[in-house]
Amino acid sequence: MSDATTRAAALLAGHRESIDRLDAILVYTLAERFKHTQEVGQLKAQHDLPPSDPAREANQIARLESLAREAGLDPAFAKKFLNFIISEVIRHHEKLKDDGV
Q: What distance in Å separates the CA atoms of residue 20 and residue 7, rounded to the nearest whole number?
A: 20
Q: In degrees rounded to 5, what are phi and psi of residue 73?
A: -105, 145
pTM: 0.83
Instruction: Note whether 86 and 44 are within 8 A (CB).
Output: no
Exposed/middle/buried for residue 89 (C-beta within 10 Å: 0-12, 13-18, 19+): buried
Give the model confidence (pLDDT) of 8-35 as tens digits. 999 999 999 999 999 999 999 999 999 9
Q: What distance in Å separates the CA atoms of residue 64 and residue 70, rounded to the nearest whole number?
A: 10
Give the model confidence (pLDDT) of 55-77 as tens digits. 999 999 999 999 999 999 999 99
Q: What distance in Å separates the CA atoms of residue 95 and residue 42, rounded to the nearest whole number?
A: 10
